[in-house]
Amino acid sequence: MTNPPQPPANAFWGGRFAAGPAAVMEEINASIGFDQRLWRQDISGSLAHAAMLARCGIITAQDEADIAQGLAAIAAEIESGRFPFARALEDIHFNIEARLTERIGEAGKRLHTGRSRNDQVATDFRLWVRDAIDGLDAQLADLMRALAGRAAQHAADPMPGFTHLQAAQPVTFGHHLLAYVEMLARDRGRLADGRRRLNESPLGAAALAGTSFPIDRAMTAAALGFDRPAANSLDAVSDRDFALEFLAAAAISAMHLSRLAEEMVIWCAAPFRFIALSDAFTTGSSIMPQKRNPDAAELVRAKTGRVTGALVGLLTVMKGLPLAYAKDMQEDKEGVFDAAEAWALSLAAMAGMVRDMRPDTARMRAAAGAGFATATDLADWLVRALALPFRTAHHVTGRLVARAEAKGVDLAGLTLDEMQAEEPRITQAVFGVLTVDASVASRTSFGGTAPANVAAAAQSWLERLA
């Protein structure tokens, strides 16, 4: 007499499979180790689905009440750390459904009517990304407030403006910080755009073709805060554009944070010393007692690689998939979770550093005039005062820079006679434009670095972000 076949480890597969999976299959197939963070979204989706099934007469009101009570108890178990997550049940969806059936019996088995894991996971993941977007948007706004606040404090404090990391023209420190406010505003715009496109509900698309049950997809979409149901069932279960857009926005924003982090690293370095960070955001050396390393900035800079890698990883997963769902898509979540965590941590660290940093405005001012930074002001004066064509003024200024460099002085260190040797019509008035303060004050064009412009822009941002 032969023994009957043993049931599979995951009983949800029903009668099709006579034996459980190989150990390596269980290892590669299970996602509960990372997708359990979707539990809140999974329970929300199931509550909305159950309410709709009852409203449409597909399950009874008592079934719905039992399901709601059971899911509330499961939520409490997960919150308290008492939920028995089982690797053999693969993912958060089967884990919750199995526990629900264990608690409430047959009603738990009816919950999956009119849906599939395909639309369930797509719905849960959208809800998770939407929640992440809302949290990250708030963090971006907080960092913008920190930058705008510091910009208002330093609207008139000059520093060197660089191109090619060479001294170019003086700007104000406030103006420099506001450049990052603009970048972060674009980051928020990308998140908002992605959120709008994300906000369609896959729930009820079932496995790929829809369902024969008389469900109301608009009802579940509204209950979950979506704008509408997704219009095509194939696309609803196989679309991961929302995750890619999220990662693209994350990668661009992480790049912005990395640029600011790089500047902080440079500004802290001995040749610059434009800012100092406190013990709260620096570390020491194991052998060099004098060291104060800007490790928080360096780690923000480094985390950009993780975020960019997550984007490239998901693009690579999705590029060869035919419609509709494929198990490859299980690889969509870990990168998104990791990128969101790295981005959030970077934003928190950067906001802390911006508020913590102590600018050395005297050192910045001294550096702002180095490297013949007012050469463009001289050329502009030649155009305005002497009506020289700009290209001619450029050449005259270049010759004066060469004279000053040979003499070992800045442009203001040349005598009037030395200047008139290159252009006889130059007058004593030229020296009035060769100071750092005169240079920044003259840049009054919209978006320029004139202190009044910077103060107004900083105040405008602070009001918008209040």
Query: Which residues have a catalytic role annotated?
Result: 164, 285
- Are the C-beta atoms of 135 and 129 separated by less than 8 Å? no
Tokens of 265: 């690293």
Q: Does residue 44 contact residue 224 with C-beta atoms inside 8 Å? A: yes
Contact indicator for 224, 108 with CB cutoff of 8 Å: no
Radius of gyration of the chain (CA): 31
Tokens of 116: 């599939």
**204: enclosing H helix or E strand:** none
The amino acid that residue 227 corresponds to is D
The whole-angstrom separation of Cα 40 and Cα 37 is 7
Residue type at 238?
S
For CA atoms 287, 291, 296, 301, give the dihedral sign. Answer: negative
Token pair recorded at residue 69: 């009570």
- Burial class of residue 369 (count of CB atoms within 10 Å of its CB; 0-12, 13-18, 19+): buried
**How many Å apart are CA 44 and CA 233, to the nearest integer?**
21
CA separation for the pair 114, 85 (Å, rounded) = 25
Q: How many residues does the chain have?
A: 466
